[in-house]
Amino acid sequence: MNDKIHTPHNIIRSAFNVADRMEPLKTRKDPTLAAICGFAFGGVGLGLYLRSWPDFLIPFGMMLLLMILSVPTGGMLSITVPFFWAIYGFRRVKASNRAIDRNSDDYIEAEVIEVTNSEILKPK
């Protein structure tokens, strides 16, 4: 019997898919800066940078889940928490920017030029 503890890949995938299904942010953000904020400051950094309560609470929940999963490994899995935060922030902003771009494609920017009949009939 295999005594190794395996974390199913679908748990990790579903944790990051939360970022893809969330409501878009109000403005476009930089995904790299979000990843840096997530890695360095966790949920607090993401919450402040993205100005969103869910973006504060979800990384905090991810940390709690990883801390519980790291008990059998003696806390070694908790080293990966900043990487999870960084990946979550990056994916969250990328998905939000895609949604913002998709919504803004509904409008076509155009310049309208009006020509009056008197301008057409003027002799040259």
Q: What is the pLDDT of residue 65?
A: 82
What's the predicted TM-score (pTM) here?
0.72
pLDDT > 60? residue 7: no
Q: Which domain holds residue 23?
A: 9-121
State the total domains in the chain: 1
Residue 20 falls inside a structural domain: yes
What spatial distance separates the first Cα and last Cα of the chain, rounded to whole Å? 96
Residue 1 falls inside a structural domain: no
pLDDT in tens, 85-118: 999 999 999 999 999 988 775 556 667 777 666 6
In terms of Cβ atoms closer than 10 Å to its own Cβ (0-12, 13-18, 19+), residue 94 is middle
pLDDT band at 33 (very low <50, low <70, confident <90, very high): very high
